[in-house]
Structures are given as C-alpha cells and as structure tokens.
C-alpha cells in the first residue's frame, strides 16, 4: 500500500498554495490526490490511512466546489527545506494527530459501555439490559475484538454479570504486535497476557499502553494508533467495560461481523425489563435510596443501579453504575448525551 506516497505528493503540491486565489490549483491537487488513491485502492483496502484519505478528499472537494472532472498535475517534488514537516515525518501511530493533519479537524468519537447485570450503552446511545449468559462479542472489527463472558448474578436469576473480559488489539504494521488483555473477577491486571505493558518492539510500540488507575480494580488502556481508550473496572462481583473509539475505527467491520453488542445492542430475545417482577433480594425503596447517594440524576444509570441492587442484594453495584457514568463523562464527545432517560 503506497498511500503515504499519495499523501506526501498532495502535501508537497498544496504547501505553496495560500490565500483566496488558490482555488483552481487546489482543485487540481485534489484531483491528482484522488487519482493517486484510486491507483493504490486494490492494495490498500484494509488500510486505515487509505480510507481516511478517500473520505477526506471527498469532503475537501465539496468544501472547495471542485469538480471531479478536470486537469490533474504531475507529482511535485517534496520541498527541500529540512525544517518542513511532511506527512511521512508525522508519527503514523498517532491517529488523532495524523487525522488532524490530513483533514484539518479532529476525528469524531463514539462511546460504548457494558456494566452491571449487564447493561449495554451502544455507540448509537441505545440502552439495553441483557440476559446474555456465556460469551458474547462487544466489538469485532478490523482493529479490535472484545468479548465479554457472563454468568448468573445469583442462583435462579435471569440476570447475569460480566465475569471475564478478553480484549484483542490486532496486529498493525509498524505500530503494534497483536496484544491480548484478559481480566477476570479478582484479577484485573495492569499488563497484557504476555506480561508486557505496551505494544511491543515495533517503532510505534508505545502507542499502545496500559495504566493502572486503582490497583486490581481499574485499568486504562490507551491505543493512540487507533485513537481509542478503554477502561476496565471491577466493582463488587462484576466487571465493567467502557470505550471511547474513533468513529471510523468503530465502523471498520464487514457484514459478516454483524453481532457486536456495542453496535447493535442485545439481540431482542436477550433483553430484560429494568422493572423486575417478583421478590427481589433488597426492597426497591432501599435500593433507590442507596443508588441516589451515588447517582443523583434518575437516568438509565440510576435505573440500572436500582435493578442491580434489587436483583443481586449487593450494594457494591452502586459503584458499578457510578463508574460507568464517570467513564461516560470522560469518553463522550457530546456532554449533552451523557444522561439517557427512558
């Protein structure tokens, strides 16, 4: 894949262009850039930088009123000045920086979370409470695979909790070796399965790193090469998962990868009402009082907290909902979408 060469030629062609009179020359450079990406499309199909470039070209052509048909320019030589910063000198394992350089704006992000019995907040702000006993994929795309394993919250209960999380960061060129992270109840390590704490010996290995926020209880994994941050927590007898992912990373999957709880939520047959019927292990009024101490806004996080405490009898579930809300506050790009009311 020679997308970096196309990027470099485009940067070299547009660096000298400044001011309101650049229109025709800028459109010529964009058409040349587009032609270069088409020539390398076959070998770049799975490359994130390639897809970013293609979408960026379309946006720029619309913004500058450029027609797709018209003259193109031969590749220009790269500027000789040593202090010029061409695209290839940027850290290609820093997704946000590269995206900003190519598109002139920061990337868009999406948030998903799984916590409690478990409750799923999808990338599209749908909110489900799920039965989902056994192993289910939260994410399955070109860059990440995340699987949650659930078991009953209590004997005879329909509700389940996440007891194990497996996260696979897939091999990515010069950035990282494939890394596997696994957490289980009472074992939330601050290292990958192979004992390492970063992406390995490749040039961009440091673009994947684990940081321990609270020993044995809360870790944060930053994957700068794909603009993604993941939080894994344990509260009481359950694990929770939260992610802030670049939009194009979250969408990088095929039709075959159709079962992802972060994308589509729980299958309809696996959804539970958050108004449990029958006798709970804790009275609903007691659960509401406990949850209100941690969650003053009666949104879906509050409703989930009440459901979990009533169903399990474990007041530690108030911490699970509180942790998920804290992650959402950090990870959601739009603060107005923090609370969901149903």
**In 3-state terms, what secondary structure has residue 156?**
coil
| Beta-bridge partners for 214 | 218
pLDDT higher than 50, residue 81: no
DSSP 259-319: --HHHH-S-GGGEE-SS--S--SS-HHHHHHHHHHH--S-SHHHHHHHHHHHHH--TTHHH
Contact 2, 50 (CB under 8 A): no
Q: How far apart are the first and last CA of the chain?
A: 47
**In 3-state terms, what secondary structure has residue 337?**
helix
pLDDT higher than 60, residue 293: yes
Q: Which of 253, 249, 258, 257 is nearest to 48 (CA)?
A: 249
Structure tokens at 245: 């992912």
What's residue 184's pLDDT?
A: 96
Contact 234, 216 (CB under 8 A): yes
Q: Which of 63-72, 149-158, 220-229, 313-322 has the lowest mean pLDDT?
A: 149-158
Structure tokens at 299: 């949104």
Instruction: Kindly state the percentage of the chain with pLDDT values over 70.
Output: 91
Instruction: Name which residue leads in pLDDT, 59 or 21.
Output: 59
Q: Which of 3-7, 17-21, 138-142 has the lowest mean pLDDT?
A: 17-21
Pairing of strands 208-214, 160-169: unpaired
Contact 310, 304 (CB under 8 A): no
CATH number of 109-270: 3.40.1000.10
Q: Give strand ranges (E) for 82-133.
A: 109-115, 119-121, 127-130
| Distance (Å, whole) CA 342 – CA 336 | 15
| Tens-place pLDDT, residues 173-212 | 889 999 999 999 999 999 999 999 999 989 899 999 999 9
| Distance (Å, whole) CA 285 – CA 273 | 18
Q: Within a 10 A sphere around the Cβ of 45, how many other Cβ atoms?
A: 10
Contact 119, 132 (CB under 8 A): no
Pairing of strands 134-140, 127-130: unpaired
Q: Which of 89-98, 215-224, 299-308 has the lowest mean pLDDT?
A: 89-98
What's residue 79's pLDDT?
A: 41
Write the CA distances from 193 to 144, 168, 171, 288, integer angstroms.
Answer: 16, 10, 15, 39
Contact 193, 180 (CB under 8 A): yes
What's residue 74's pLDDT?
A: 59
Q: Which of 111, 124, 239 is nearest to 183 (CA)?
A: 239
What's residue 85's pLDDT?
A: 46
DSSP tally for the chain: helices H, then strands E: 9, 12
- Cα 138 vs. chain centroid, distance in angstroms? 11
| Distance (Å, whole) CA 299 – CA 55 | 37
What's residue 76's pLDDT?
A: 47
Q: Is 113 exposed, middle or buried (0-12, 13-18, 19+ CB in 10 A)?
A: buried
Q: Give strand ranges (E) for the chain.
A: 109-115, 119-121, 127-130, 134-140, 144-152, 160-169, 179-184, 208-214, 218-223, 228-235, 238-246, 271-272
What's residue 253's pLDDT?
A: 92
Instruction: Name which residue leads in pLDDT, 51 or 19.
Output: 51
């Amino acid at each position: 894949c020679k997308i970096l060469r196309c990027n470099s030629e485009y940067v070299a062609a547009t660096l000298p262009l400044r001011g309101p009179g650049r229109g025709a020359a800028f459109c010529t450079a964009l058409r040349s850039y587009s032609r270069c990406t088409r020539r390398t499309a076959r070998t770049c199909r799975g490359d994130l930088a390639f897809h970013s470039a293609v979408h960026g070209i379309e946006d720029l052509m619309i913004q500058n009123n450029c027609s797709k048909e018209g003259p193109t320019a031969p590749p220009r030589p790269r500027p000789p000045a040593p202090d010029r910063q061409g695209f290839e000198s940027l850290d290609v394992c820093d997704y946000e920086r590269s995206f900003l350089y190519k598109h002139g704006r920061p990337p868009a992000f999406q948030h998903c979370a799984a916590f409690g019995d478990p409750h799923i907040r999808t990338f599209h702000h749908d909110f489900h409470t799920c039965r989902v006993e056994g192993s289910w994929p939260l994410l399955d795309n070109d860059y990440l695979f995340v699987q949650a394993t659930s078991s009953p919250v209590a004997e005879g209960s329909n509700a389940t909790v996440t007891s194990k999380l497996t996260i696979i960061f897939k091999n990515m060129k010069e950035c990282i070796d494939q890394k596997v992270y696994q957490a289980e109840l009472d074992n939330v390590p601050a290292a990958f399965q192979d004992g390492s704490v970063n992406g390995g010996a490749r040039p961009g290995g440091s673009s994947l790193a684990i940081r321990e926020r609270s020993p044995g209880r809360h870790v944060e994994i930053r994957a700068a090469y794909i603009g993604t941050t993941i939080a894994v927590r344990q509260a009481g007898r359950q694990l929770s998962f939260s992610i802030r992912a670049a939009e194009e990373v979250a969408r990088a999957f095929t039709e075959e990868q159709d079962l992802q709880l972060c994308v589509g939520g729980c299958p309809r047959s696996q959804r539970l009402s958050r108004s449990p019927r029958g006798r709970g292990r804790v009275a609903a009024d007691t659960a509401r009082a406990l949850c209100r101490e941690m969650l003053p806004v009666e949104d879906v996080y509050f409703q989930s907290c009440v459901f979990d405490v009533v169903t399990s009898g474990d007041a530690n579930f108030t911490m699970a909902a509180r942790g998920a809300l804290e992650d959402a506050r950090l990870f959601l790009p739009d603060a107005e979408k923090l609370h969901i009311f149903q």
